Structures are given as structure tokens and as C-alpha cells.
Chains A and B, each alone.
Chain A
């Protein structure tokens, strides 16, 4: 099965840049999608196809993907960005779609 590895936590000060990684075997050959989940709420798609943003998502959210690591970058971090973030890819015909374990972003 295809495994996605995320750091459990990332901390950043307001106004700084947060980078959340998602590791997987040759993940650069896949399309990576990212979700934001705040406590008690459903996930929200914030980046799709490595680096595109759905309508309504601020330009501060961007993504990149190469080699064995995909990265979600949040620029000029705000307190409201504090949440869990999950990556997602197509695993295989047996896995179907898989998610990373999630990263808790803390805004100091």
C-alpha cells in the first residue's frame, strides 16, 4: 500500500511562512491535494493538483511537488490558519485514494 508521511506538528509565528511536507515514494509523479481541518469541522480543500487553489482560498496557500516530497506552503501565516493539514493522493487500484496522517499547524 502507498504510504504518505507527514510531520505531526509544525509551529510558526504570525506573519512567517509555514511549510508542511508530505513524503511518499516518487510522489512527484502523482497529483497531490491538500486539506485544512479545524477542530470539529469537516476538511476543506485548499490546494489541488500540486499547486492550484479552489476559488475562495487565499493566494497565501501554495503547493509544490517533486521527487519524494510534496510541500504545502502558507505565507504570512495568520492565527486563523491554525488547523490540521492533510495531503491526499491516488495510491493504486487496491489503495484507491489515501491520506497522510496529518500535520497540526500551531501559530505561536
Chain B
């Protein structure tokens, strides 16, 4: 039974860096059959996919165009977890952030079959 457990601060000041971690149990961050994603949800933007990391003989990352210049997702194989860093945050980055496992043999078939509990991150001074 796979479980994703998120951790990280719920309040970040404008212009600073948002950092969250997602610990994986029941699967491996290095698996060849899944990818590890960050998705956020806000009233103004709805559900928004932010990016992912995955291992296929080497590590790959893909990021949404909307945050590409500010985002980093890193795997941590020693702790079986992955992290999100979003730089230079503004109040528009206020949202509930979710980590999620993505599965599917193709981009088209790709879906999110397991989610973390969510973390409300508020950007405010």
C-alpha cells in the first residue's frame, strides 16, 4: 500500500523559497514504472500540475512552463523521498500543494494514482 507523507512550512514570505518534501512508503523514488509529481490547487487556478522527477536509467525532470524558471524537484534516494523548491514566491503562489505518484506508459495515459495529504502554503509577510 503506497503512502505519500508531505512535510514543510505552511507560511512563506514573499520573494522567499517555498520548500516541501514528500516521503514515499510502499514504493521507491527510483522505480522505473512511475514518476513523482507536485500539483497545486487554488481557487483562482484550480488544479495545476507543476512538475515531476523520474528515473529511467538516469534522472529526468519536467516542469510546467508557468513555473519553469522558479522550480526545482529533486529526488533523495537515501531517504526515499522527493522535494519541491519554488523560488521568488508571490501571494499568487498561495495554494494547497500535493505530491502525487504518476503512472502510465505514455504521456496520454499518464494519471495520478496516489496523492499526499496536501499542504496549505500561504505566501504572506
Interface residues of chain A, those whose CB is within 8 Å of chain B, are 30-31, 33, 35, 41-45, 48-49, 54, 86, 88-90, 94-102
Contacts and interface: CB of A to CB of B under 8 A. Distances in A.
Contacts of B98: 42-43
9 closest cross-chain pairs (CB), A and B: A42-B115, A99-B47, A33-B111, A97-B49, A90-B108, A90-B107, A48-B111, A31-B108, A45-B113
A101 B46 contact: yes
B117 interface: yes
B23 to A, nearest CB: 15
Interface residues of B, number: 20
A72 to B, nearest CB: 14
A33 B112 CA distance: 9
Nearest to A45: B113
Contact of A102 (B46, B49, B64, B109): B46
A86 B41 CA distance: 12
Contact of A88 (B62, B111, B117): B111
Contacts of A48: 109, 111, 113
Given A42-B118, A94-B65, A99 B113 contact: no
A89 B115 CA distance: 17
A21 B62 CA distance: 29
Contact of A90 (B47, B110, B115, B116): B110
